[in-house]
Amino acid sequence: MPSVITLGPLAVSTVVIIGLISVLAGFGAVSLFSKGVREDRKRYFDRLFTGLLIFILLCKFSPGLTDFSALVRQPALILYAPPGTIHLLIALSGFLLYGFFSFLRSNKNKEIMLSFLVFLVVSAGVFATVRYVVPAVFPLGAKESGQAVPPPVPGTPAPDFTAETLGGDSPGLSDYTSSPVILNFWATWCPPCK
């Protein structure tokens, strides 16, 4: 499974797309759970949206808790650095704590807590299935298409490959055998790269 899906000039991380699909599945499950009662559905969705916002904010800003010095040196990490496992756990803890406090504030309304649990179980289940199970069962990738470049081994020549430049040329690494080569891959959508 590719790590980035390119839609014209827009490049979107596969994990983000899978996350959005998972969140939509979670909201769909809560909608079915609310049994069509409009007031209940609005109340559940309001709280879930707030919990989801807390999750996203904690996921993006928790690197400041774990590696503050790197964040001070490079503030753009907040926007562009992918979250690590510890950041996801911090964000998930914030989501669950908000769900628990919503439960307490609603006079221990069990449906509120149940809506958070339904959302969490369905979203996590869809995410895990699409992200890990489907690629394991149906392996798609560079191996089958013959485009895989083996990882470099220290002390050996770099494997030859070609890549298209912004100008439309397709130079190969073997075109530069007479001098040292430094490769720097940039993304057109990445402001720090520019």
Q: What is the mean pLDDT of residues 38-60?
A: 85
pLDDT score recorded for residue 3: 72
CA atoms of 65 and 55, how far apart (whole Å) = 15
How do residues 72-85 score in pLDDT, each as one tens digit?
888 877 777 777 77
pLDDT score recorded for residue 143: 46
Q: What are phi and psi of 51, to 5 degrees?
A: -60, -40
What is the overall mean pLDDT for the chain? 79
pLDDT score recorded for residue 122: 92
pLDDT score recorded for residue 184: 77
pLDDT above 90: percentage of residues in the chain: 4
Strand-pairing partners, residue 12, are: 5
Q: Is 3 helix (H, G, I), strand (E, B) or coil?
A: coil
175: exposed, middle or buried (C-beta count within 10 Å: 0-12, 13-18, 19+)? Answer: exposed
Model confidence band, residue 44 (pLDDT cutoffs 50, 70, 90): confident
Q: What is the mean pLDDT of residues 24-50?
A: 82
Q: What are phi and psi of 69, to 5 degrees?
A: -65, -40
The alpha-helical segments, DSSP class H, found in the chain are: 14-33, 38-61, 63-66, 68-73, 77-80, 85-105, 110-128, 134-137, 142-145
